[in-house]
Structure 1
Amino acid sequence: MEPMAHDFFTPQPIMGTRAYYLRNILHDWGDEKCLIILLNKAAAMKPWYSKVLVNEFAIFRPRPLCLLGAIERAEKQWRELLTTAGLQIERIWTAEPESQSIIEARLAGPGVDDGEST
């Protein structure tokens, strides 16, 4: 993994990498801005190869937490946001309740559930 500075509101300059890692970024933005960020990542992804790894809280409370201008989203909210960006969650990794998670997502599309690859 190589960290790189990048304005995530502009198109992703590196195309087709194995993973795009976003740590503690999306909780600072509302859904509209997050959608721009995620759409830029999705446009750079290679189907059946690239993943987006979102390192944020995926809380299991019925309502999200808002604190100091940040929003901690519930799992359902993550699913809705990522789906809107054309991504499908494969797995949410959480070590213990109410701790940060890794949300692993890939491009959604025809045949994603049947194991076929292109």
Structure 2
Amino acid sequence: MVAAVVGRWRGNPINMWGPPQDPTWAANDPYLHAEQLRDTTLYISTGTGQPGPLDTLDQTRGDAGKLAGQLTSGAVLEAITNACTAQLRERLQQLGIPATFDFHPTGTHSWGYWQRDLHNSWPLFEAALNR
């Protein structure tokens, strides 16, 4: 993930939690602190990085550069996210912590998929908020 932030967006991953060896990285790792998620309503979704229905010129309003980014960096990021999500699911199952996981067969790391999953997750969150 850090390589994609640096390579694609020329970003500085230190802006997230400081240098990778900083204890703040571990302090914010949901895998390491999965037990703290107990009694929290969780909806976790991911695609595979393979292009899907929202990876089209129509979905990027004709912006070929944006689409190229989705199909390259967005694909890599989502593939990494998919692997991390599978690990988190295993960890939560080991701990007996319920969570809703939505593994999509396709999809890149891009806003269209995030918006779709926000809509898909809303009934779960609405019920949790109304408890």
Normalising by structure 1, report the TM-score. 0.32
Greater fraction helix: 2
Higher relative contact order (CA 8 A, sep 6+): 2
Greater fraction strand: 1
Normalising by structure 2, report the TM-score. 0.29
